[in-house]
Amino acid sequence: MPNQPLTSLFRPEILAMSAYHVADASNFIKLDAMENPYGWPEAIQQAWLEHLKDCPMNRYPDPEAKALADALRQSNQIPEQAGILLGNGSDEIIQILQMALSSDATVLAPEPGFVMYKQIALSLGLRYQGVPLLADSFELDMPAMLEAISSLQPALIFLAYPNNPTGNLFDAKTIKQILAAAPGLVVVDEAYAPFADASFMDQLPHHPNLLVMRTVSKLGLAGLRLGFLAGDKSILEQLNKIRLPYNINCLTQETARFALEHQQFLLEQTQTICQQRTEVLAALQKIHDIKAYPSSANFILFKTLEKSANAVFDSLKQQGILIKNLSSQGGLMGNCLRVTIGKPEENQAFLAALQYALNNTP
């Protein structure tokens, strides 16, 4: 019998972490996770099931997912000279990137930002530095960013474009300044590309240290777990050595290819979501006691000005509506809540419940 708890075998940074928490959403109107609320049209679903019959489930999938990679290159206008690396969600790509770094490397990202950058850095024992965004505009604080870059010499910088949870696109000029100042790689994370009208994809040929990451999750295929990274082929070749051989399973490969061939229905869904985003933002901006921030993604960040966001969040939950409470992050996120754009009737239910919550919390 070991005389120490077996968990003491694990690195102290792992023991100190908490697992990524996902709220139980059963029986809620689910507006917490940036999912596309729409299912697939009946006819397309039938054709898809028919298509899946040809998946040889007894065989390993294509380790390189070549056909899918080609389809992604096409539909995302990845420049000819750039390479592509596929991941089990872009989360896995964030992990692959950081696993490749030397153990004394620093990872840098503006905050508030996507939590997995930091979570994965900590799990790998890397140094992580967050740099606060400017209050209110949520733009990059360039003096602070440039100072952190020069003093910490980060091997890797993550910039979500648009940013999660704030929803804004950072000024493109400032991102180019960071690309010029960075001694290492800069990942522009375009998870919300389907809802934004700006991208760094066409900049790849001009910046050897730029990598552009995307996912099909927010487009409407979150269940598949598929993300990808585009950039310099010699960099991706090294990262590819860490990737587990069959990380994109056969059902994901075939389903994603099928969905991209039929992507018109997904594009129509994202258009509807963008229209709804305009309506929900206008409605939120009319509510006294709320400051709502414009968004280039499929969610809206808002702040309660007088009432406690925790109380509003709890009241929404009691009314059957689940959104994301960011206030525990503190700092710029004090009293901030984030709502994902849903179907029109879900958005209406949310707005009514929010009004009720504001009227009935002390």
Residues in Cβ contact with 133 at an 8 Å cutoff, skipping those fewer than 6 apart = 110, 111, 112, 139, 140, 141, 163, 166, 332
Q: How far is the CB of 306 from ligand PLP (least distance, A)?
A: 29
**Which residue ranges make up the site for ligand PLP (CB under 6 A)?**
34, 89-91, 114, 160, 164, 189, 191, 215, 217, 222, 227
Nearer to ligand PLP, 123 or 348 (CB): 123
Q: Respond yes or no on whether the N-terminal peptide bond of residue 154 is cis (omega within 30° of 0).
A: no
Residue with tokens 């991209």: 260
Residue with tokens 């375009």: 190
Distances (CA, A) of 109 to 145, 165, 177, 189: 9, 13, 15, 11
Q: How far is the CB of 193 from ligand PLP (least distance, A)?
A: 11
Nearer to ligand PLP, 273 or 357 (CB): 273
Nearer to ligand PLP, 193 or 321 (CB): 193
Both tokens of residue 132? 């606060």
Q: How far is the CB of 251 from ligand PLP (least distance, A)?
A: 16
Nearer to ligand PLP, 122 or 222 (CB): 222
- Distance of alpha carbon 94 from alpha carbon 242, whole angstroms: 12
Provide the b/e sequence for 121-143 (b: ≥16 CB within 10 Å): bbbbebbbbbbebeeeebbbbbe
Q: How far is the CB of 32 from ligand PLP (least distance, A)?
A: 12
- Distance of alpha carbon 167 from alpha carbon 1, whole angstroms: 52
The neighbour count for residue 19, using CB atoms within 10 Å, is: 6
Q: How far is the CB of 298 from ligand PLP (least distance, A)?
A: 10
Nearer to ligand PLP, 244 or 282 (CB): 244
Q: How far is the CB of 217 from ligand PLP (least distance, A)?
A: 3
Are 296 and 167 in contact, with CB atoms under 8 Å apart? yes
- Distance of alpha carbon 243 from alpha carbon 340, whole angstroms: 31
Nearer to ligand PLP, 120 or 250 (CB): 120
Distances (CA, A) of 86 to 71, 114, 195: 12, 20, 21
Nearer to ligand PLP, 76 or 315 (CB): 76
Nearer to ligand PLP, 226 or 358 (CB): 226
Q: How far is the CB of 283 from ligand PLP (least distance, A)?
A: 24
- Distance of alpha carbon 342 from alpha carbon 356, whole angstroms: 19
- Distance of alpha carbon 140 from alpha carbon 124, whole angstroms: 26
Q: How far is the CB of 170 from ligand PLP (least distance, A)?
A: 12
Residues in Cβ contact with 199 at an 8 Å cutoff, skipping those fewer than 6 apart = 161, 190, 193, 212
Are 256 and 221 in contact, with CB atoms under 8 Å apart? yes
Nearer to ligand PLP, 175 or 357 (CB): 175
Q: How far is the CB of 196 from ligand PLP (least distance, A)?
A: 11
